[in-house]
Amino acid sequence: MITWEFSVAFIQASMIFLLAAIGELVNQRSGVLNVGLEGLMLVGALTAFAIAEKTGSPWLGFAGGMLSGGLIGLLHGFLSISLKADQTVSGMGMWILALGMTTYLGQPLSGPLRADGRLESVMAGLTPMFFIGVIIVICVWFGLFRTKYGLWIRSAGEDPSVAVVSGLNVTRIRYICVVFGGVMGGLAGAYLTLVYNPVWSPNPTMGRGWIALAIVFFSMWRPEILLLGSFLFGFLWHLAISPSALQFQGINLSYHFYRMIPFIATIVVLTVISSKKISRIIGADKPAALGKPYFDKE
């Protein structure tokens, strides 16, 4: 049976996906693909953890996590917008660097976070991050589809040359969106190590960033589907780490197989949703210029 405790726990888990994915959605809408989402989360997670551990203030930790995420986002922006580098390879590099750096720098910090660095205010079992996350999604939806700024962002991702002709500064729009994506990735990481699981061990994200990336792809770049997708994968992820919460009669699998569930589900959902029939029904909104650097006329 799905109990209240289980639901609360999976909603908490889904916030990690939600925060990371909503930032990525905005920067993909502006035409920049950041594959290094997992790296953003790792850097945010370590910075937040280290600051909270040293100062005892989770608020400074959150600020530090978001700031460091934003800086990595800025670096990715510099590579992909100004230097027009291959965004996939640059993002992979960002992730590998983040994985190596956080493993290396985080070693002295291994172990649980000191008590006053944690954030444990709860409402009916839910942390405030749930409400903040939902509000952010609503704001992003409103911003993207109901304001002129959203139109600017979408046109930068759809057809940058037309956007430029209409008098927009595509470079600036893309930079702002990539930094926003970085800040949200950092926030997701900070939430992971300060609230969700306040322990430092190497590679704490364990592939969550890749799933968040996949959620953006099959949300059809729409915030409302992204919200549902995050809950679905939060549910699967929580099921994967605590299969005993749901009692399967007569099924006795090793816990490793449960851990595979979210990853297998990602492939299945992505395959189904990528099929021509489904994407026609939902109306895929893939930004036409996604992943392509914009070369201005010289």
For 39, the 3-state DSSP assignment is helix
Sorted by sequence, the CB contacts under 8 Å of residue 202 that are 6+ apart come out as 102, 103, 106, 107, 110
Using CB under 8 A, which of 242, 259, 285, 292 touches another protein? 259
Minimum CB distance to another protein smaller for 148 or for 256: 256
171: contact with another protein by CB under 8 A: no
What is the separation, in whole angstroms, between the first and last Cα of the chain? Answer: 64
Taken in order 33, 96, 199, 257, the sign of the CA dihedral is: positive
Minimal distance, residue 85 CB to another protein, in Å:
4
Q: Tokens 């956080």, residue?
A: 102
The window from 52-60, 62-70, 178-186, 201-209 that contacts another protein (CB under 8 A) reads: 201-209
Minimal distance, residue 194 CB to another protein, in Å:
22
Minimal distance, residue 33 CB to another protein, in Å:
9
Which pair of tokens denotes residue 269? Answer: 């959902």
192: contact with another protein by CB under 8 A: no
70-129 positions binding another protein, by CB under 8 A: 75, 79, 83-86, 88-90, 92-105, 107
Minimal distance, residue 168 CB to another protein, in Å:
24
Minimum CB distance to another protein smaller for 119 or for 225: 225
Specify whether the CB–CB gap between 296 and 166 falls below 8 A: no
Using CB under 8 A, which of 6, 126, 143, 210 touches another protein? 210
**CA gap 8, 147 in Å, rounded:** 33
Minimal distance, residue 116 CB to another protein, in Å:
27
Minimal distance, residue 48 CB to another protein, in Å:
19
20: contact with another protein by CB under 8 A: no
Minimum CB distance to another protein smaller for 141 or for 237: 237
214: contact with another protein by CB under 8 A: yes
**CA gap 39, 47 in Å, rounded:** 12
Which pair of tokens denotes residue 200? Answer: 């430092």
**CA gap 145, 130 in Å, rounded:** 23
Minimum CB distance to another protein smaller for 161 or for 274: 274
Residue 63: which H helix or E strand, with range? helix 58-77
Minimal distance, residue 231 CB to another protein, in Å:
19
Query: Using the 8-state DSSP alphabet, how is residue 126 labeled?
Result: B
Query: Phi first, then psi: what are they for 76, rounded to 5°?
Result: -65, -40
Minimum CB distance to another protein smaller for 129 or for 208: 208
Cα dihedral value 251, 17, 191, 95, nearest 10: 100
Which pair of tokens denotes residue 145? Answer: 């589809």
C-alpha distances in Å from residue 220, one per residue of 63, 114, 259, 291: 30, 41, 26, 15
The window from 52-60, 117-125, 142-150, 207-215 that contacts another protein (CB under 8 A) reads: 207-215
277: contact with another protein by CB under 8 A: no
Using CB under 8 A, which of 161, 166, 169, 274 touches another protein? 274
Chain residues in the site for another protein (CB under 8 A): 35, 75, 79, 83-86, 88-90, 92-105, 107, 202-203, 207, 210-211, 213-214, 217, 254, 256-257, 259-260, 263-264, 266-267, 270-271, 274-276, 298
